Amino acid sequence: MIKDDDQKLKNKKQLLNQAERLLKDQTVYSQKLSTEDIRHIAYELQVHQIELEIQNEDLRRAQIELEESRNKYSNLYDFSPVGYFTFDKNGLIIEVNLTGASKLCVERNLLIKQPFSIYITPDNRDIFYLHMRNVLNPSGGSRQTCELELIDKNGNRFYAQLESVAESPEMFRTAISDITISKKAQEALRKAYDELDIRIKERTVELTRSNAELEQFAYIASHDLKEPLRMIANYTQLLAMRYKDKLDKDADVFIDYIVEGSTRLQEMIEDLLEYSRIGTNKKIFLPTDFEAIFKQVTINLKLSIEQNEAVLTHDPLPVVMADNTQMVQLFQNLLSNAIKFRSKETPRIHVSAWKTKDDWIFSVKDNGIGISPSFVHIFRLFQRYHSRSKYPGTGIGLAICRKIVDHHYGKIWFESEVGKGSTFYFSLPAKHYSEIERTVNDKK
C-alpha cells in the first residue's frame, strides 16, 4: 500500500514538471502566434481537460467498486459460518477470521502466533500433528480432513471438522466447522442402536430359553398325560361294551360322549407330542431326494388316496439338504389336508418345485374347498376353520409343518380362494446347511 502511494506521488511530480515545461515553451512560442491560433489551442486544451476529468471520474468509480468488493470479501471472510485459520509449519496461528476467533472465545489479535494445539483436547493433539504432517507433505499434496475435539478458552468442548490445504511448504490454510450437533446425534444413534442390540440379544436368549422350557413342558405334560388318558379311554370303552342297553338311554349317550372325548384327547396328545419332538434332536441334514419322499408319502396315504379316488401328480423334484423324516412328515400333512379338504370334485393334487436365487420353493396345489386368505393363523396350534364333524382333525398338522420348515430356516405360506382350491408353499434354503448356520450365528 505504501509503495503504491509513493509511486503515485512520483508520477504526479513528473506530470507537474512536464506541464510546467510545456507552458514555458508555449509562452515563448505563443508570442509568435496569431489570435486565431491561440483560440484554437485554447479550445484543444479545454477538450483535453474535459477528457481528463472523464478519465478521472472513471478512475474514482473503479476505486469505489474495488473498495466495496474488498469490504464484501472481508465481511464474507470474517462472518462466514466457518472458521478460517492460517497456520505456519509448526502449527502457530498466523491469521484467523472472526468466526474462528469467536469459536475459541479469544480475541482475534491475541490468537496470532499462539499454538493451535492448546485449543485441542490433549488426547486429540496427535491427530492434529498427523494432519499437519499430511498437509505439508509435498507428496501428499491434496486437501486433508480430520475430526477433532476442541476446547475453547472457557473450557467448553466441541467437535470440529478440519479441512486443510497447503499454501506453501511453510504454511497451510484450514477451514474449521463445528460438527458437534451431528456428532452428538451420531453418538446418540449409535448408543440407541447398541442398547437395542443388547436388548434384542437378551430377549432372544430369554425367548430361546422360555421356548425350550415350554417345549420341555409340553413334551413332559403330554407324555405323562398319555397313561392316565389311556386308562380312561380303555375303561369307558369297557363300560360301553358291558353296560350298553343295560342302563337307561341317557347313560348310553353319555358313555358315547366320554368315549369320543377321550379318543380325541388321545389324538391331540399324540400330535402335541409329535409337535414338541421337532427340533429337540440335533440337526442332521442330508441330501434328500424329494421324488423318493413323494413316493413314500403316497404309500403312507394309500388308503385315503384310494377312498377319495384322489389323483396325485408331480413335476420333477430335486435333491435338497434336509431332514428326511421331517420332510416325509411335512409332505404327508400337506397332502393329507389337500385330500381331506376336498370338494365334490375328484381331488386333483399337484406338487411342483423350482429354484430361486437362494431357495428351493415347493408347492402343493389342490382343487378342494379352499380357505379364506384372511385366515393367516392356520399355522398356529389348534387353529381350525372347518367343522370337526365334517373334517376331523386336531388343528396341529400345519403347526407341525411350520415348525419343520422353521427348523430348516425356510418359510411356509398359502394362497387360496374359497371354493376353488388352495396352494401351500414352503421354501428350503439352497445353500449348504453349515453355511446357513454360520450366517444365522453371525447375526446373533
Among 371, 404, 405, 436, binds ligand ADP (CB under 6 A): 371
Strand order in the sheet with 157-168: 93-96, 83-88, 171-178, 157-168, 144-151
149: which strand partners? 159
Strand, helix or coil at 389?
A: coil
First to last CA, the chain: 71
> Which stretch, 132-140, 165-173, 223-231, 362-370, contacts ligand ADP (CB under 6 A)?
362-370
Q: What is the number of alpha carbons within 13 Å of residue 126 lying toward its C-beta?
A: 1
Strands 319-322 and 348-355: unpaired
159 binds ligand ADP (CB under 6 A): no
CB-closest chain residue to ligand ADP: 393
Cell of 276: 414338541
For the chain, give me the number of helices (H) and strands (E)?
Answer: 12, 12
Q: What is the number of alpha carbons within 13 Å of residue 283 lying toward its C-beta?
A: 15
Give 122 or 392: the residue with its C-beta nearer to ligand ADP: 392
> Which stretch, 158-166, 223-231, 303-311, 383-391, contacts ligand ADP (CB under 6 A)?
383-391
Instruction: Residue 406: name the closest of 323, 333, 347 by CA.
Output: 323
> Which stretch, 22-30, 50-58, 199-207, 337-345, contacts ligand ADP (CB under 6 A)?
337-345
Cβ 358 to ligand ADP shortest distance, Å = 27
Cβ 407 to ligand ADP shortest distance, Å = 17
Cβ 337 to ligand ADP shortest distance, Å = 4
Give 367 or 427: the residue with its C-beta nearer to ligand ADP: 367
Among 323, 327, 366, 412, binds ligand ADP (CB under 6 A): 366
279 binds ligand ADP (CB under 6 A): no
Give 39 or 386: the residue with its C-beta nearer to ligand ADP: 386
Give yes or no for a contact between 331 and 293, defined as CB atoms under 8 angstroms apart.
Answer: yes
Strand, helix or coil at 320?
A: strand
> Which stretch, 90-98, 166-174, 194-202, 380-388, contacts ligand ADP (CB under 6 A)?
380-388
Q: Residues with Cβ < 8 Å from 307, sequence gap 6 or more? A: none
341 binds ligand ADP (CB under 6 A): yes
Residues in contact with ligand ADP, shown as a per-residue x/- string from 393 to 412 under the rule CB under 6 A: xxxxxxx-------------
337 binds ligand ADP (CB under 6 A): yes
Cβ 197 to ligand ADP shortest distance, Å = 36
167: which strand partners? none
CB-CB neighbours of 328 under 10 Å: 17
384 binds ligand ADP (CB under 6 A): yes
Cβ 248 to ligand ADP shortest distance, Å = 35
Give 124 or 423: the residue with its C-beta nearer to ligand ADP: 423
427 binds ligand ADP (CB under 6 A): no
Helix (H) or strand (E) holding 304: helix 302-308
Among 83, 368, 410, 429, binds ligand ADP (CB under 6 A): 368
Cβ 258 to ligand ADP shortest distance, Å = 22
429: which strand partners? 359
Among 135, 369, 405, 428, binds ligand ADP (CB under 6 A): 369
> Which stretch, 90-98, 184-192, 229-237, 334-342, contacts ligand ADP (CB under 6 A)?
334-342
Question: What letter would DSSP give residue 283?
Answer: P
144 binds ligand ADP (CB under 6 A): no
Cβ 411 to ligand ADP shortest distance, Å = 17
Instruction: Residue 341: name the closest of 274, 295, 398 by CA.
Output: 398
> Which stretch, 78-86, 117-125, 307-315, 366-374, contacts ligand ADP (CB under 6 A)?
366-374
> Which stretch, 221-229, 311-319, 384-392, 434-442, contacts ligand ADP (CB under 6 A)?
384-392
Cβ 227 to ligand ADP shortest distance, Å = 24
Cβ 441 to ligand ADP shortest distance, Å = 31
Give 144 or 416: the residue with its C-beta nearer to ligand ADP: 416
Cβ 425 to ligand ADP shortest distance, Å = 12
Q: Would you tell me which residues interact with ligand ADP (CB under 6 A)?
A: 333, 337-338, 341, 366, 368-371, 378, 383-386, 393-399, 422
